[in-house]
Amino acid sequence: MKKITKNLLNFMSTRLGFVLTLLVLYWIKTMWAYTIDFNLDIQGFYQVFLAIINPFPISLLLLGLALYVKRTKLFYSLAFGIYLLLFAWLVSNSIYYREFSDFVTVNTMLASSSVSAGLGEAALELFRPWDILYLIDFPILAFLFFKKYIRMDDRPFNKRASFAVTSLSAMLFSANLFLAEIDRPELLSRGFSNYYVVRALGLPAFLGYSANQTYTANRERSKASEKDLEPVTEYIQSHYAEPNPEYYGIAKGRNVIYVHLESFQQFLIDYKLQADGKEYEVTPFLNSLYHSNSTLAFSNVFNQVKAGKTSDAETMIETGLFGLNQGSFMVNYGGTNTQQAAPFILSKNGGYTSAVFHGNTGSFWNRNTAYKQWGYNYFFDASYFTKQDDTNSFQYGLNDKIMLKDSIKYLEHLQQPFYAKYITVSNHYPYTTSLIGDEIGFPLAKTKDETINGYFATANYLDSSVKALFDYLKESGLYDNSIIVLYGDHFGISQTRNPNLAPLVGKTSETWSNYDNAMMQRVPYMVVVPGMDKGKIIDTYAGQVDMLPTLEHLLGIDSKNYLQVGQDMLSTQHQQITAFRSSNNFVTPKYTSFNGRTYYTQTGEEITNPDETIKKELDEIRNAANTQLKMSDAIQTGDLIRFYKGNDLGKVNPKDYSYLNSMKALLAIEKEKGDQSTSLYSKRGNVSTVDLFNSPSYRALHPEQFQTSSSDEDSSQENSSSSSSSSTANP
């Protein structure tokens, strides 16, 4: 043992040994932070492996720079200085995470005043007793040097060997990045979440990623000026669609409840899956809403998302502006750009309280900062709900029925009128992992693609989850004073899988075309207005960017003076030109242009040799669609709303919002308001409605299906037993 210790100390007394010692110490501290301080939602051996290796590449690269230095004292000073920087970056993130459930970005550091405002005098309270372990190596190293167990190495390190260390670190990072892309394709380009980057590549790499994001955003922002608003405001005014007087203000003053239907496509409405000689209605409850006299249901609303997927959809419904052509607006600009979004608009026009309920981590798609810029008062993420495990969740969060039930204890304390959004997750790719136990039972489709096969079962689960929410709203008394808006965020089955889906939707794989791909971009949009009897199915062609002005007009809020590029779908002036996020792709009642092909929308016939009249029409439509995208991009990337003075809304101050201890804040408001409190809890005489929420499992909802299966099994067992007895009696 003494010999091993002596050899180890001798190795640590070399320059390479000292660098590797610091590297191992940094790795140990990082593993401690990953385990104790951060919630990285690491699942499976592959992600564990990534987390174990990711501290090495960049830290070795940085620490290895000291090996190029010849002078002894300068070498040790530089190596230890780099180690201190790595240590400081790790610890600062650990402390910051305890307060904000996120990592320190370059934007955060540049806006240090807002960070200090967030932490304030309570910063010291964020330290934990175990933080001493982050410091324990410093006195140990000092002791070893003081007692000369470790000595300084006066020999310069070989330059070729130094370069080899640098090359090794670069190779390690390349391998790390390659493995990370396997686990999460487009990890850096789409920017799902800060914690995804940290989990896969480590904190030093995250700093570089954050710096690049900040540089890109600030470069575009710095180019913009107030003059850039002129063409934008001219476009907004000329593009404005006046409200339809038949519907304007019919929901004024009501609560607004948004239900985000994850990965839900329009073709699921009224769809019946054929399985084992029977028909299974996939979404019976949503179908009933779609055909209800209380529902304004739209049959030709198309998703307009791109790489930002769900975050793009949220951006559009909240702001009336598109997401980005590359990456996610919420990730790249959501925490910094001035926004005039639905929560803020409704707070200024009706005194609405706003909240989001979502069973995933708050940093996903940068929601915990973007929501503050949008003016959301409360954000109830996974930290507010039942602890996740293999029985109640999957990689994208808590299963919907559990999240919805857990949300009631917060929803009932919101001051009315409120604007609440539920983001569901269970109908999320890969559609094979979210359902377990008694929720299994809806038949799987039978195709070559397991993703398609499971899609209908998870959609059915989502349908029953939504029904449970509606049942609660009716039982609690919220239903009659609310409107419920349901929307699909993006496609669930990708274009590459559509040929395998074709036989299930009355098509053939051989004749499947880009026209069919375009039509599969349709998503549901339903506005349920309890008490209304003039609901109908509306065939207007529109997109998600049109949802906000439609909602505003239903609530009696004129969208004329807001920088929104969408149009009210109910307006007679709605142009019915729906731009997809990629330039030159669009759909109208007459023409569809998608992936370089053009079709007649009503028949699907491809236009291969258009005459001059058709060419002119297509050019005008293409120009209108591209102009809409151009104007939205100018607002979003230039942060032009910061210059806008065309309304009296003012600007959101993100410092006014905190998503910590939200329940405590809700109760404090109720107490302060006393008899004037408008929360459901107060209105019901301080009686909770949590027990009114019931969400039966699939097995409970369809007992006959399982009784039949059980009877078949019993019969099979009896026949087997009889056969066995017969065989025994008659050898």
Q: DSSP for 579-641?
A: E-SSTT-EE-SSEEEETTEEEETTT--B-SS--HHHHHHHHHHHHHHHHHHHHHHHHHHHTGG
Q: Is 38 exposed, middle or buried (0-12, 13-18, 19+ CB in 10 A)?
A: buried
Q: Domain ranges in the chain?
A: 2-221, 248-568+649-692
Rounded CA separation 93/87 (Å): 10
State the average pLDDT over residues 371-378.
Answer: 98
Helices (H) and strands (E) in the chain, counts: 29, 16
| Site of tokens 């009249």 | 613
Tell me the average pLDDT across 672-682: 98
Integer-rounded Cα Rg, in Å, for the chain is 29
The pLDDT of residue 126 is 66
Q: Residue 526: phi, psi to the nearest 5? A: -130, 135
Query: What percentage of the chain has pLDDT greater than the value 90?
Result: 74
Tell me the pLDDT band of 163, cut-offs 50, 70 and 90.
very high
What is d(CA 553, CA 267) in angstroms, rounded to the nearest whole number? 28
Shortest CA distance to 64 belongs to which of 198, 159, 177?
159
- Of 358, 347, 305, which is closest to residue 327 (Cα–Cα)? 305
CA atoms within 13 A on the CB side of 512: 20
Q: How confident is the model at residue 721 (pLDDT cuts 50, 70, 90)?
A: very low
Helices (H), 251-298: 284-290
At residue 99, the pLDDT reads 60
Region 3-27 average pLDDT = 91
Residue 83, H or E segment: helix 72-100
- pLDDT value of residue 325: 81
Work out the pLDDT band at 728, boundaries 50, 70, 90. Answer: very low
Q: Which range, of 77-81, 123-127, 206-210, 360-364, averages the lowest pLDDT?
A: 123-127
pLDDT score at 115: 36
What is the CB neighbour count within 10 angstroms for residue 614? 15
Q: Which DSSP string corresponds to 479-512?
A: GGGEEEEEEE-S-SS-TTTHHHHGGGGT--TTT-
Q: Tell me the pLDDT band of 190, cut-offs 50, 70 and 90.
A: low
Cβ neighbour number for residue 609 with a 10 Å cutoff:
6
H/E run at residue 346: helix 342-348
Amino acid 123: pLDDT: 52
As a whole number of angstroms, the distance between CA 372 and CA 384 comes to 18
pLDDT value, residue 293:
97
- State the Cα angle at 79 between 73 and 84, rounded to 5°: 120
**Most confident option among 133-137, 194-198, 460-464:** 460-464
Give dist(CA 127, CA 579) in Å, integer: 51
Structure tokens at 5: 């210790």
Q: How far is CA 220 from CA 163, 207, 213, 373, 557, in A?
A: 37, 20, 11, 19, 32
- Is the model's pLDDT at 720 over the cut of 60? no
718 vs 591, residue with greater confidence: 591
* Average pLDDT score over residue span 646-653: 94
Residue 184 has pLDDT above 60, yes or no: yes
Separation CA 579–CA 590 (nearest Å) = 14
Rounded to the nearest integer, the mean pLDDT of the chain is 90
Higher pLDDT pick, 707 / 83: 83
Cα–Cα distances (Å) from 231 to 237, 430, 561, 645, 646, in that order, read 10, 43, 15, 15, 14
* The residue type at 235: Y
Distance of CA 594 to the CA centre of its chain: 26
Of 87-101, 159-173, 634-648, 709-723, least confident by mean pLDDT is: 709-723
Length of the chain: 731
- More confidently predicted of 624 and 11: 624
Residue 56 pLDDT class (50, 70, 90 cuts): very high
* Inter-residue contact 425 to 462 (CB < 8 Å): no
**Closest CA relative to residue 26, chosen from 71, 76, 61:** 61
Residue 489's alpha-carbon distances to 243, 258, 305, 418, 472, in angstroms, are 25, 12, 8, 22, 24
Task: Please give the CATH number for the structural domain made up of 248-568+649-692.
Answer: 3.40.720.10
105 band by pLDDT with thresholds 50, 70 and 90: confident
Instruction: Quote the CA–CA distance of 229 and 641 in Å, as a whole number.
Output: 8
State pLDDT tens for residues 299-323: 999 999 987 899 999 999 999 999 9
Rounded average pLDDT over 537-555: 98
Taking the C-alpha atoms of residue 278 and residue 276, their distance in angstroms, rounded to an integer, is 6
User: Nearest 10 degrees: CA dihedral of 227, 214, 564, 567?
Assistant: 130
pLDDT at 120: 42
Give residue 222's pLDDT band: very low, low, confident or very high (50, 70, 90).
confident
pLDDT digits (tens, 9 = 90+) for 107-135: 667 645 333 333 444 455 567 788 888 99
Please say if the pLDDT value at position 162 is more than 90: yes
Inter-residue contact 191 to 328 (CB < 8 Å)? yes
Instruction: Quote the crossing angle between the two packed helices 203-223 and 194-201, to the nearest 10°.
Output: 140
Instruction: Indicate whether 153 pLDDT > 70.
Output: yes
- What is the signed CA dihedral for 672, 673, 679, 684, rounded to 10 degrees? 100
Q: DSSP assignment, residue 157?
A: P
- Given a cut of 50, whether residue 176 has pLDDT beyond it is yes
* Mean pLDDT for the stretch of residues 624-642: 96
Instruction: Give the burial string for 659-691 (b: 16+ CB within 10 Å, else e).
Output: beebeeebeeebeeeeeebebbbbeeeeeebee
pLDDT band per the 50, 70, 90 thresholds, residue 584: confident
Residue 503 predicted with pLDDT over 50:
yes
In this predicted structure, the answer to whether residue 19 has a pLDDT above a threshold of 90 is: yes
The pLDDT assigned to 103 comes to 83
Phi-psi region of 248 (alpha: psi -120 to 50; beta: other; left: phi over 0): beta
Report the C-alpha gap between 22 and 141 in whole angstroms.
10
**CA–CA dist 321, 314 (Å, integer):** 10
* CB atoms near residue 481 (< 10 Å): 16
What amino acid positions are annotated as catalytic residues? 310
The pLDDT assigned to 717 comes to: 43
